């Protein structure tokens, strides 16, 4: 099980409507539970995001760095890492 730090949880809580039509979490605890349930991944850079998505079988051929950063399931964290929520 992955431990999500406060930054991951807060960014997901604030930006979850990017991925879902309505909120799936209202509190930090609910957000952390949701991230654990869907086995969200924290990547240290966009290269790791690409590798993760390729391994997961996502069709990302031809996607630029900017395309990846704007993907619904990719959440940029203020410290340069990325949270990937595969829901």
Quote the CA–CA distance of 5 and 85 in Å, as a whole number.
15
Token look-up 């069709």 returns 59
Q: Does position 77 have pLDDT exceeding 90, yes or no?
A: yes
From residue 36, alpha-carbon distances to 47, 59, 60, 66, 71 in Å are 23, 24, 24, 27, 20
Residues 85 and 12: beta-carbon distance below 8 Å:
yes
Which has the closest alpha carbon to 81: 40, 30, 39?
Answer: 40
Would you place residue 76 in the very low, low, confident or very high pLDDT band (cuts 50, 70, 90)? very high
pLDDT tens digits along 18-68: 999 999 999 999 999 999 999 999 999 999 999 999 999 999 999 999 999
pLDDT, residue 1, reads 54
Mean pLDDT of 3-7: 94
């Amino acid at each position: 099980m992955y431990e999500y730090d406060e930054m991951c949880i807060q960014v997901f809580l604030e930006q979850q409507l990017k991925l879902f039509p309505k909120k799936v979490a209202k509190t930090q605890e609910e957000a952390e539970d949701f991230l654990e349930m869907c086995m969200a991944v924290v990547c240290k850079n966009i290269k790791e995001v690409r590798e993760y998505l390729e391994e997961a079988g996502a069709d990302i051929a031809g996607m630029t760095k900017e395309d990846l950063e704007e993907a619904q399931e990719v959440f940029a964290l203020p410290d340069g890492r990325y949270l990937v929520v595969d829901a």
